[in-house]
Amino acid sequence: MLKKLLGIAPKLESDGSYSPSKLALKLGTVSKSDFENISYEKYKGSKKKILVIFTEQKNMKMKNGKLFSTGNHPIEALVPMLHLKNAGFEFDIATPTGKPVVFEMWAFPEKDEYVQAIYKELKSSFEKPMKLGDFIENSFSSPASYAAVFVPGGHGAMLGIPQDENVGRILNWAHQNDLFTVSLCHGPGSFLATTLNKQPFIYEGYNMAVFPDSVDKQTPMIGYLPGHMPWALSEEMKRLGANIVNTKSDKTVCLDRKLITGASPLASNELGKLTATTLLKELK
């Protein structure tokens, strides 16, 4: 009751999960992103496609058994995609089994006309994405049509995707065919899929920006999470040999070889700019 009075009690949803408290939403979400509508010189080559791997799962079970209502963070997904669209790239939208993309709608920037526009434009693809298995069957033979694989963040990226063999196959395919791999915040959890079936971690020794475990440990205090995380993402990346370049949930972005990463939702605009300019430069 005291937590409710203070506005730090997570909100109970109809399915029994919890979304962030009033205070957490005030501190951790925005009604308008910092997207910069840049006019890039559009890419006109053959590698126009970007595969975007979204989560189809909503509820993350915390250590205390409570469910966090999560999914893909809308700003982390859509702001980088806005930059890539402006730069002339197109998207293949996919989830592991073809179930609809799940967004953290409580984090949706309702007053952001640009984010609203691309969400509406791609809504039918979010509702009926392709299956990763179908992508492997139909597109693995044509890597020359693709520039990058993008895995947006949101805690939901840690659900199912790190354990999905098809995700591992796709990330290895991108790595072997010299495509870029792009992710931010909790999205790098997907990189764990490359280690399934006792395979080596393909990003060992890479610099990358990842959401800090230290912040995830603090957010239950303000009711952002309804409990402590089931596992620690940054810690796992370090254990596998990655070099984490950030200590805060800030605007840090990192380019190392063909891997582009960002630290948090605050890095979404910078990640979009870095990815767009890097692809335009490298794919000339």
Asked if pLDDT for residue 25 goes beyond 70, the answer is yes
The enclosing H or E element of 86 equals helix 74-86
One DSSP character per residue, 38-51 reads -------SS--EEE
Question: C-alpha distances in angstroms, 73 versus 51, 110, 161, 176, 264?
Answer: 17, 13, 15, 28, 10
Asked if pLDDT for residue 269 goes beyond 70, the answer is yes
In the annotation, is 185 catalytic?
A: yes
The one-letter amino acid at 210: V
Q: Which two tokens stand for residue 118?
A: 């691309």
Asked if pLDDT for residue 75 goes beyond 70, the answer is yes
Query: Average pLDDT for residues 75-91, to the nearest whole number?
Result: 98
pLDDT tier at 6 (50, 70, 90 boundaries)?
Answer: low
Rounded Cα gap, residues 62 and 84, in angstroms = 34
The one-letter amino acid at 190: S
Report pLDDT digits (tens) over 98-148: 999 999 999 999 999 999 999 999 999 999 999 999 999 999 999 999 999
Note the pLDDT of residue 163: 97
pLDDT tier at 5 (50, 70, 90 boundaries)?
Answer: low
Rounded Cα gap, residues 174 and 224, in angstroms = 34
Instruction: Kindly name the residue from 82, 185, 208, 260 that is annotated as catalytic.
Output: 185
Longest Cα separation, the chain:
60
Q: Which two tokens stand for residue 280?
A: 């335009």
Question: Judging by beta carbons within 10 Å of its beta carbon (0-12, 13-18, 19+), is residue 84 exposed, middle or buried?
Answer: buried
Q: What is the pTM of this model?
A: 0.96
Asked if pLDDT for residue 59 goes beyond 80, the answer is yes
The one-letter amino acid at 250: D
Asked if pLDDT for residue 2 goes beyond 60, the answer is no
Note the pLDDT of residue 8: 84
Rounded Cα gap, residues 141 and 181, in angstroms = 18
Asked if pLDDT for residue 187 goes beyond 90, the answer is yes
Helix and strand counts by DSSP (H, E) for the chain = 9, 13
Note the pLDDT of residue 108: 98
